C-alpha cells in the first residue's frame, strides 16, 4: 500500500491562507508540472525554487502560543528545593490551578526538584523552568500510572506515561533555561538489554503484531497491564495485570494544538526525547538535548502538521532529528507528517543527523531543512524503511549544510531497515531536492541510493555538493531520474552510475 500514490509526478503542495484546519488545505499542480515530459535539470531547478517558496506560507501558519501574564509558583503548592522530597503532587496541582484560572505560567524557580511521576500539562499552561531549575524524574514505573495513550515506535498503545505529557490540549508550552532529567541510567535503560527477562523485546513484538492486525487501541494494554478508561476501578477487560517493558518518552504531546517547547535542556531520556504526535502548529526552538540511552532520538515529529524546529543543539546516541508518521498497517489510515521546517540546528548523532523514518507509513511530505551543521555520525541524511512500511515520502528540500564526518554514508536511501516482518508493501520515495552541501569526510560511501524493483527511488536532484574525502564508491540501484549537477567527490566531478539490477 502506498499513500498519496494517485498524485501526479512532481506535484507541489501549496498552502492557502487558512491554517487552522490542515484538512482544508488544497493542492495544486504548478505550471511546470503541466509541461513536464521528463525530469530535466531545468525542470528540477524550477521545482526546487517553487518548493522553497512555500516556506513563507508555512511559517505564517506556525504561530507559537501566547499565555496570560499571571504566574503561579510551584513553591506555593508545596514543591521543595530538595532532591529527596517528592514534588510531583505540587507540580500537578500548580498546573491544575493555572489551567482553572484561565492559564499562564507555572514557574519552577532555580533549585533541584524530584518528581516521582509525570507532569501532565493542560490547556493554556506554560511550564516555565527558570535558569538553574532542575527537575529529576523518579524511576519507579508504578509512579507513571494510570496508563495513557501514546504512539510507541509508530504504533498506538496504552503505556506508562511520558515524563511530561499532554492529551488533546491546546496552547501548551515547556519553556525556560532549566533542565529536565529522566535519570534513565541504571533504570529504564535496562529495559533495552538482557535484564533477567525484563526487557522490551517481547512487548515490542506483540505491539507490532497488534498494529499489523489493526487491533482496537483500547485492547493494546502495556505498562502495568491495567487500563480503566471508564473509571469504575476495574480493568476494562484487556489488561493482563502483568508488568511490561516499553520505555516512556521524555516529552510526548498527543493530539494537541499550538505547542511550544523552547530553551530547556533535556537529558537522560528513557526513550525518544521530544515526541509530538498528531499535533498541529508546533514550535520547537533553542533546545539543548543531551544523550540518554539507546533509542534516545532527539526530536521526532510524528504525524504532525506545521512544525518549526530551529536553533536546537542535539547530541544523541540515536537519531538527532527523525521525521515520522507511524508504523505499517497501524498508520496507513492515519495522518501524515507535512509542512516541517528544520533550520539553524547543530546536530550530532551516533546514527543519523537528519532522517525520515523508519516509521513513516502514514506518509511524509513538504519537509525543508536548511542552514544546519551536521557533525559526527554514521549517516548525515538518511531516508529509511523496510518492505513492511508502505507509505510515500515526497517533496523534501535540503540546502546549506555543513557536514563534518560520516562513517558509512553522507546521503542514503534504504528499504532494508531492520525489524522486517516479511510483508511486501514498498515505500515510494520521490522528489528530493538537495543543494549547497559541504562535507569534509565520508569513511565509506558518499551516496547510497537503493530502492527496490517494484518501487525505484525517483526524481532526486543533487546540486552544488562537495565531499572532500571519501572511501568506497557510491551505490545507486533501482533508481530513476537521479540528476547531479556540480557534485564533486575527492576533487573530481561525480556522475551517477545507476544499476537497475
Q: What angle in degrees, to the nearest 10, is found between the helix axes of 54-61 and 41-52? A: 20
The average pLDDT across 330-343 equals 98
> Domains in the chain and their CATH numbers?
1-65+319-501 (2.160.20.10), 68-281 (2.160.20.10)
Under the banding of pLDDT at 50, 70 and 90, the label for residue 220 is very high
pLDDT of 2 higher than 60: no
pLDDT of 22 higher than 60: no
DSSP at 273: S
Sheet strands (E) in 286-407: 288-289, 305-310, 313-316, 321-323, 337-343, 346-349, 352-356, 364-374, 379-384, 392-406
Taking only the tens place, the pLDDT of each residue in 128-152 is 999 999 999 999 999 999 999 999 9
CB 410 within 8 A of CB 375: no
Q: Hunting for cell 569513511 — which residue is that? A: 443
Query: What percent of the chain has pLDDT above 90?
Result: 86
pLDDT of 51 higher than 80: yes
Q: Could you tell me which residue, 226 or 37, shows the higher pLDDT?
A: 226
140-168 in b/e burial notation, b at 16+ Cβ within 10 A? ebebbbebbbbbbbbbbbbbbbbbbbbbe
Give the pLDDT confidence score for residue 17 in this predicted structure.
Answer: 36
Q: Give the residue from 375, 422, 444 showing the smallest Cα distance to 403.
A: 375
User: Cα(30)–Cα(53) distance, rounded to whole angstroms?
Assistant: 12
Q: Hunting for cell 515506535 — which residue is that? A: 153
Under the banding of pLDDT at 50, 70 and 90, the label for residue 14 is very low
416: helix, coil or strand?
Answer: coil
The average pLDDT across 485-497 equals 91
pLDDT of 248 higher than 50: yes
pLDDT of 181 higher than 60: yes
DSSP at 28: B
User: Cα(353)–Cα(347) distance, rounded to whole angstroms?
Assistant: 6
Q: Give the residue from 295, 153, 155 showing the smallest Cα distance to 220.
A: 155
- Strands 179-181 and 274-277 turn out to be unpaired
pLDDT of 175 higher than 90: yes
- Strands 179-181 and 111-115 turn out to be unpaired
Taking only the tens place, the pLDDT of each residue in 443-461 is 999 999 999 999 999 999 9
211-246 in b/e burial notation, b at 16+ Cβ within 10 A? bbeebeeeebbbbbbbbeeeeeeeeeeebeeeebbb
The average pLDDT across 344-354 equals 97
pLDDT of 6 higher than 50: no
472 contacts: CB under 8 Å, gap ≥ 6: 444, 445
The average pLDDT across 206-221 equals 97
Model's pTM, two decimal places?
0.94
The lowest-confidence range among 29-38, 259-268, 368-377 is 29-38
Give the pLDDT confidence score for residue 23 in this predicted structure.
Answer: 35
pLDDT of 276 higher than 70: yes
Taking only the tens place, the pLDDT of each residue in 393-409 is 999 999 999 999 999 99
DSSP at 393: E
Give the pLDDT confidence score for residue 259 in this predicted structure.
Answer: 98
Residue 345's Cβ-count burial label (10 Å; 0-12, 13-18, 19+) is buried
Under the banding of pLDDT at 50, 70 and 90, the label for residue 1 is very low
Give the pLDDT confidence score for residue 500 in this predicted structure.
Answer: 61
Ranges of H-type helices in 1-159: 31-35, 41-52, 54-61, 88-100
CB 467 within 8 A of CB 479: no
22: helix, coil or strand?
Answer: helix
Amino acid at each position: 500500500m502506498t499513500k498519496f500514490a494517485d498524485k501526479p509526478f512532481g506535484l507541489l503542495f501549496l498552502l492557502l491562507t487558512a491554517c487552522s484546519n490542515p484538512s482544508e488545505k488544497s493542492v495544486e499542480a504548478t505550471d511546470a508540472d503541466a509541461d513536464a515530459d521528463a525530469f530535466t535539470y531545468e525542470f528540477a531547478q524550477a521545482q526546487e525554487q517553487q518548493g522553497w517558496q512555500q516556506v513563507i506560507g508555512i511559517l505564517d501558519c506556525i504561530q507559537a502560543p501566547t499565555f496570560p501574564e499571571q504566574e503561579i509558583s510551584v513553591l506555593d503548592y508545596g514543591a521543595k528545593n530538595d532532591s529527596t522530597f517528592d514534588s510531583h503532587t505540587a507540580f500537578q496541582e500548580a498546573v491544575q490551578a493555572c489551567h482553572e484560572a484561565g492559564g499562564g505560567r507555572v514557574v519552577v524557580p532555580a533549585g533541584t526538584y524530584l518528581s516521582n511521576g509525570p507532569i501532565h500539562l493542560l490547556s493554556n499552561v506554560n511550564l516555565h523552568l527558570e535558569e538553574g531549575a532542575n527537575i529529576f524524574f523518579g524511576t519507579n514505573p508504578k509512579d507513571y500510572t494510570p496508563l495513557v495513550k501514546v504512539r510507541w515506535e509508530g504504533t498506538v498503545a496504552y503505556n506508562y506515561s511520558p515524563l511530561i505529557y499532554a492529551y488533546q490540549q491546546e496552547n501548551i508550552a515547556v519553556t525556560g533555561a532549566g533542565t529536565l532529567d529522566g535519570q534513565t541510567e541504571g533504570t529504564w535503560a535496562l529495559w533495552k538489554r538482557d535484564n533477567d527477562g525484563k526487557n522490551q523485546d517481547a512487548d515490542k513484538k506483540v505491539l507490532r503484531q497488534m498494529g499489523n492486525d489493526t487491533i482496537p487501541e483500547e485492547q493494546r494494554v502495556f505498562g502495568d497491564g491495567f487500563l480503566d478508561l471508564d473509571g469504575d476501578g476495574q480493568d476494562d477487560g484487556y489488561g493482563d495485570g502483568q508488568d511490561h517493558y516499553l520505555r516512556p518518552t521524555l516529552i510526548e504531546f498527543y493530539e494537541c494544538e499550538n505547542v511550544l517547547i523552547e530553551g530547556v535542556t533535556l537529558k537522560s531520556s528513557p526513550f525518544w526525547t521530544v515526541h509530538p504526535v498528531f499535533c498541529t502548529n508546533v514550535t520547537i526552538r533553542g533546545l539543548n538535548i543531551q544523550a540518554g540511552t539507546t533509542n534516545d532520538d532527539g526530536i521526532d515529529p510524528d504525524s504532525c502538521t506545521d512544525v518549526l524546529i530551529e536553533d536546537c543543539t542535539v547530541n544523541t546516541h540515536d537519531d538527532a532529528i527523525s521525521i515520522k508518521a507511524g508504523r505499517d498497517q497501524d498508520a496507513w489510515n492515519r495522518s501524515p507528517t507535512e509542512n516541517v521546517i528544520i533550520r539553524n540546528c547543530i546536530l550530532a548523532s551516533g546514527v543519523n543527523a537528519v532522517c525520515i523514518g523508519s516509521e513513516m507509513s502514514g506518509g511524509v511530505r513538504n519537509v525543508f531543512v536548511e542552514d544546519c551543521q551536521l557533525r559526527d555520525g554514521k549517516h548525515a541524511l538518511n531516508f529509511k524503511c523496510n518492505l513492511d512500511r508502505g507509505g510515500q515520502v515526497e517533496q523534501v528540500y535540503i540546502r546549506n549544510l555543513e557536514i563534518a564526518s560520516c562513517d558509512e554514508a553522507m546521503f542514503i536511501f534504504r528499504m532494508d531497515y531492520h525489524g522486517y516482518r516479511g510483508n511486501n508493501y514498498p515505500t515510494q520515495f520521490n522528489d528530493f531536492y538537495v543543494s549547497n552541501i559541504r562535507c569534509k569526510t565520508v569513511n565509506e560511501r558518499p551516496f547510497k541510493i537503493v530502492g527496490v524493483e517494484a518501487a525505484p527511488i525517483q526524481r532526486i536532484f543533487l546540486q552544488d555538493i562537495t565531499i572532500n574525502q571519501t572511501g568506497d564508491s557510491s551505490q545507486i540501484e533501482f533508481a530513476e531520474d537521479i540528476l547531479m549537477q556540480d557534485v564533486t567527490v575527492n576533487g573530481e566531478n561525480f556522475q551517477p552510475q545507476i544499476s537497475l539490477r
